[in-house]
Amino acid sequence: MARSLKKGPFVDGHLMAKIEKLNETDKKQVVKTWSRRSTIFPQFIGHTIAVYDGRKHVPVFISEDMVGHKLGEFAPTRTYKGHASDDKKTRR
């Protein structure tokens, strides 16, 4: 179920404050966050946000196409290594 339109998009206050502070000073530095649930706003464009995936912070460079999506969409939490190969030699 999608979020109600009357509520508007969600972004954590501390993340928005950090981005606005960087926009005022025109600095481009990596912002670490654990907030995968935050929606990407137009103010984030051009910044690199390190999103936590459960093990490490994955750097995500924000572009115009990402606006409206969640930060967690760009930092996958599961790594798929593939199924084990079918080794016929060990079955003998």
- pLDDT tens by residue, 35-87: 999 999 999 999 999 999 999 999 999 999 999 999 999 999 998 888 877 76
The reported pLDDT for the residue numbered 80 is 87
The reported pLDDT for the residue numbered 44 is 93
Q: Which two tokens stand for residue 43?
A: 């103010």
The reported pLDDT for the residue numbered 27 is 85
The reported pLDDT for the residue numbered 69 is 95
Considering only residues 85 and 13, tell me which one the structure prediction assigns the higher pLDDT. 13
- The residue ranges of DSSP E strands in the chain, in sequence order, are 31-33, 48-52, 57-61
**What span, in angstroms and rounded, lies between the C-alpha atoms of 14 and 33?**
9
Domains of the chain plus CATH, in order, are 28-74 (3.30.860.10)
